[in-house]
Amino acid sequence: MSSESPKHVLFGQFAAVAKAAAHPNRLELLEQLAQGERSVEVLADRLKLSVANASQHLQHMRRGGLVAARRDGKFVFYRLADDAVLDLVAALRRVAETQSAEVERVVRSYFANRDALEPVTRAELMSRLRDGAVTVLDVRPQDEFALGHLPGAINVPLAELERRLSALEPGQEIVAYCRGPYCVLSYEAVAKLRARGFTVRRLEDGYPEWRAAGLPVEAGIQS
């Protein structure tokens, strides 16, 4: 019989969960999986990793209880084990934001320089949506949009933004969002649109946080 105290056993398991997330690639994989279920091949392509490397990271996270997997023929698909995983990542982010000088420097030098305006909160956007007073712009790739998006959102991936400006109403405020609070896509979209004279702000975070908050979502591709 083990001589370890129950508390020590529990803390060991908590540490195993933390260890499962302890790699930049794994946190980025979790960000991708927060958009919806994906195959190993798609995840590897999105992160510019080899399939073997992506698979190894995913297996570590599965053993740590962060993700779940299913097999479909030759392909393995992964998803977040639970929305509580989003809370874990958010807690890591908050601690780093308040305690890491390097995080503060990167946020100030890169993100704040691109958009100094206060982002739109989820509550504010819900109110604006009810009033029909805003255009919601999803700048993620189309496959992520199809897995789930904010109600009534228009999907214009960042790479297509310049040639699809006609899809946006010039006189209406735009709220842009993507994968999360530090997703570069929405920052770049805001900068491009403001340079073209549009009134645009970012959502405070992304689709995963919106869904986890229990707010309405839609799925599928626009007709």
Catalytic residues, by residue number, are 178
Q: Do 154 and 136 contact (CB within 8 A), yes or no? A: yes
CB 168 within 8 A of CB 154: yes
CA 80 distance to own-chain centroid: 12
Q: Counting beta carbons within 10 angstroms of the beta carbon of residue 103, is it exposed (0 to 12), middle (13 to 18) or buried (19 or more)?
A: middle
Alpha helices in 23-139 (DSSP H): 24-33, 40-47, 51-63, 84-99, 101-106, 112-114, 122-131
- In degrees and rounded to multiples of 5, residue 190 shows phi and psi of -60, -45
State the Cα torsion 212-213-217-220 to the nearest 10°.
-20
| 38-39 and 174-177 beta bridge pairing | unpaired
Question: Of the candidates 42, 204, 60, 15, which has an alpha carbon nearest to the alpha carbon of residue 120?
Answer: 204
Burial (Cβ within 10 Å: 0-12, 13-18, ≥19) of residue 59: middle
